[in-house]
Structure 1
């Protein structure tokens, strides 16, 4: 236990030393108007670089990422089919897919899947 605590303390000390060295040796940059402005082929920008974006497209992106992660979580179910017991696999897979379907139903009821809002 003492050895584990010593390793933990030494790793914290080394991490802090590395952070301090990085802060001391880091290149200092002074922000000026030219560095903060948007770059458009050497010309002054015609409009603001900070354009508002549609919140609807942001929600669609988040929903896509959620479904993408769900697919990544479903794929190992296929590979472990031969390894584990059939009843356990069926119960866990059914519960997982039911939870995903309830989330899809919730998004559908709140009109999050409609493109025209």
Structure 2
């Protein structure tokens, strides 16, 4: 299909442009029942497509390109949503690069000279001098569980302290009850000797 040329020269430029756009859309309407703006401006610029829709609206006709407008609005919304994830993608990429660099660097630059001291247990635990499946004191597990409980308590305290001005007295006394329950549990395990190491 041949598109008629659009002229912007002279005092009747806008009127001629509107008439030309209407003529173009009427020709396409005879060949297709789809969105006229998309069909008529296939192969043309996006500015001309918008001009076709605007010209048809200025002439007082029904919005025949509503589907095209909805499609453009959906594409713009999708672009905005995806652009909000760009910082997260950059952060994940940097984290992966740093993690891989830290994993590869020891093999590339480390001086390998193993000895008995380097193979020994570090800071805590028991020396690895026998079978790895040997039994050891259950207090290791007990201390770790107690640590997790009170570590989670601190995790609850941080958001409570940040939002203290917004939650009012109800939030204050709710946290006091929570801390009271934890304190009673701490006293109970202390009296039972859970924190004593023999």
What is the TM-score when the length of structure 2 is the normalising length? 0.33
Structure-2 residue corresponding to 1:72: 155
Unaligned runs of 5+ in 2: 1-128
Matches within 5 A, 1:16-95: 47-85=130-168, 87-95=169-177
Structure-1 residue corresponding to 2:192: 110
Distance 1:101 1:83 in 2: 26
1:74-98 Cα shifts (integer Å, max 9, x gaps): 211101101122x212211110110
Q: Relative contact order, CA 8 A, sep 6+: which one is greater?
A: 1
Alpha-carbon offset, residue 71 of structure 1: 1.0
Number of aligned residues: 70
**Aligned-residue RMSD, C-alpha:** 1.6
Question: In the alignment, is the contact (CA less than 8 A) between 2:164 and 2:172 conserved in 1?
Answer: no
What is the TM-score when the length of structure 1 is the normalising length? 0.54
Unaligned runs of 5+ in 1: 1-45
Distance 2:185 2:155 in 1: 16
Alpha-carbon offset, residue 47 of structure 1: 4.3
Distance 2:189 2:130 in 1: 36
Alpha-carbon offset, residue 114 of structure 1: 0.9
Following TM superposition, where does structure 1 have runs of at least 4 consecutive aligned residues deviating by more than 4 angstroms?
A: none
Q: Tell which structure's C-alpha radius of gyration is larger.
A: 2
Closer/same/farther in 2, CA of residues 54 and 91 from structure 1, 3 Å limit: same
1:30-67 Cα shifts (integer Å, max 9, x gaps): xxxxxxxxxxxxxxxx8433121211122111111111
